[in-house]
Amino acid sequence: MDERLRKQLDFSLEIDKEKNVFRQTHLSGHGRNENDAEHSWHMAVMAYILREYANEDVDISKVMLMCLIHDIVEIDAGDTYAYDEEGLKTQKEREDKAKERIFSLLPDDQRAELIALFDEFECAETAESRFAHTMDNLQPLILNNSNGGSDWREHNVDSSKVYERQEKTALGSQRIYDEVTRPIIEENIEKGNIRKE
């Protein structure tokens, strides 16, 4: 087998470990914690189904690929909960190191391509990355809402933090923010699942 194919297979096997990185979000039906691979799959399908609501025209293939690879770095860096202030301080350093190690398993051209795509997602300055962030926020929101807001209650999350995080949702899709995100947040504040602040 040539070196290029060997590297591509090594990377393919390595990313299997993403299935062991668990998140704070629980599956619908009050299920177990979700892992990063499942979350990424779910985001990518949702991006395709909901693409008509993106604020700007998006290359949906690029959005889907971004969704699929955006959490690979967590194989080394672990999942950082959106409301974990201590973890968030060191997140970038941990993820940069992971990014170098994991994507360097690939041939150079693919290493460069996927790192650029990951960086584009992180910066959230393009139409595609903004819509991918909308999905990154919306996917756990609909799961958590379907479970009566139990993830927010468990972590005693306050409303200012939820609104702060969800700002990115509107940058990718104002319509999803207005018609889905904001009503869900308001309802969960009213029910006491999100602490009002």
If binding is defined by CB under 8 A, does position 61 make contact with its own copies? yes
Distance CA 51, CA 46 (A): 8
Could you tell me the end-to-end alpha-carbon distance of the chain, in angstroms, rounded to an integer? Answer: 60
If binding is defined by CB under 8 A, does position 120 make contact with its own copies? no
Choose, by CB under 8 A, the member of 21, 58, 66, 69 that binds its own copies: 69
What CA–CA distances, in Å, run from 90 to 26, 79, 86, 151? 25, 12, 7, 23
If binding is defined by CB under 8 A, does position 136 make contact with its own copies? no
Nearer to its own copies, 53 or 195 (CB): 53
- Say if residues 39 and 8 touch (Cβ distance below 8 Å): no
* Candidates 38-46, 73-81, 82-90, 118-126; binding stretch for its own copies (CB under 8 A): 38-46
Which residues in the 167-186 window bind its own copies by CB under 8 A?
A: 179-180, 183
Residue among 13, 5, 33 nearest 143 (CA): 33
Nearer to its own copies, 70 or 130 (CB): 70
What CA–CA distances, in Å, run from 189 to 126, 133, 144, 154? 32, 23, 13, 14
If binding is defined by CB under 8 A, does position 9 make contact with its own copies? yes
If binding is defined by CB under 8 A, does position 98 make contact with its own copies? no
If binding is defined by CB under 8 A, does position 42 make contact with its own copies? yes
Helix (H, G, I), strand (E, B) or coil at 38: helix
- Rounded (10°) angle between helices 108-123 and 85-103: 160
Interface residue list for its own copies (CB under 8 A): 1-2, 5, 8-9, 11-13, 15-17, 19-20, 27-29, 31, 34-35, 37-38, 40-42, 44-46, 48-50, 53, 60-61, 64-65, 68-69, 106, 110, 139, 142-143, 146, 179-180, 183
